[in-house]
Amino acid sequence: MRARDFAIVVGTGTPGPHNAITDVPGVRVGHTTLVAGTGPRVVGRGPVRTGVTVILPHEGSAFDEPLYAGVHWLNGNGEMTGMPFLQEFGLLASPVGLTNTGSVGVVRDAFVEIEVGSLARGRQAWSLPVVAETWDGLLNDIDGQHVTAAHVKEAYQSASGGPVAEGAVGGGTGMICHGFKGGIGTASRVVDGYTVGMLVQANHGRRDRLTVNGVNVGRSLPASGLANEEAGSIIGIVATDAPLLPHQCRRLAQRAALGVARTGGAGENSSGDGFLCFSTGNRNLPANALDARGPRTFQVTVLADDYIDPLFYAVVEATEEAIVNALVAAETMTGADDLTVPGLDGASLAKMLNPGA
């Protein structure tokens, strides 16, 4: 269940039909979830509480049809591969993968394998894939590196539009957020004829700072007992069909940090808080920014900056709601060394937000 199933409405904006990143036409999401074993942690054997999430930015091949994109880090104790290229050329030229810290490499290499396997054009693959991470080492045998290339390909092949599974799924399987079970969450807003979608992998925040719709609910909840709650991270992926240039995508990505702040996140010293935004508003860009065979000039459509504020507000609201959805959707989980992390009950949260109802 999600926040709105409990009448928890974040902000004043209008969500898309699925209130998900997939409301942006062409965007698809796939998960592979790995849950196995119980009891004491044995490196390489488990217990396993992890996975991978893949976001496909449009219905074609992102390797062949890049999109304008931008990135922003609130705090840089994290990893998102492919950033030098993305920041230099303003292009997203791969799917986006989300996983745990120890599995970034295998997901990145699997993306390269997927591109090589799709080639039928007489050219060599050229790819610097985007893969981001948060650390799931409390619930998961992270050092066992249980995510494989086959798991990545399964998530890639299963990616679809429509409703998105949330909570303890995919890359979010073993994540903890504000002292509760966290994971994957998504939301969207429709403004001025454009759609803005957000997907988060939420693994951050202290319980006593948890805030929803401006109400600090965390201080009214029992302490979690988890050490260094604030030492987690959050990754957010923003998608929009508004025709934006790379610097405008970066500006939207930056506003996602405000949504994190609204829920009580602060980009603490040990947190890796990275946000990437891509725009599907200009397709048919040159397939490779380094390929001299491309056109010497080409035309794009651009939203004037004077009209961008509604998109900023949409990102802030969608980020806050995506985090709340991740919390409400994730159920209590027991993982490695019998550590149990409770889910946040949506009905109880709704009563705290509206005690007179």
Which residue numbers are catalytic?
233, 271, 273
Per DSSP bridges, beta strands 130-134 and 96-100 are parallel
Beta bridge partners of 273: 75, 234
- C-beta of residue 176 within 8 angstroms of C-beta of residue 80: no
Peptide linkage before 47 cis (omega within 30 of 0):
yes
Beta bridge partners of 217: none
Strands (E) across 39-95 are located at: 48-56, 67-76, 91-92
Dihedral pair phi/psi, residue 194, rounded to 5° = -110, 160
Residue indicated by tokens 């979830």: 33
Name the CA radius of gyration of the chain, rounded: 19
Q: What burial letters (b/e) apply to 263-293, b meaning 16+ CB within 10 Å? A: bbbbbbeebbbbbbbbbbbbeebebbeeeee
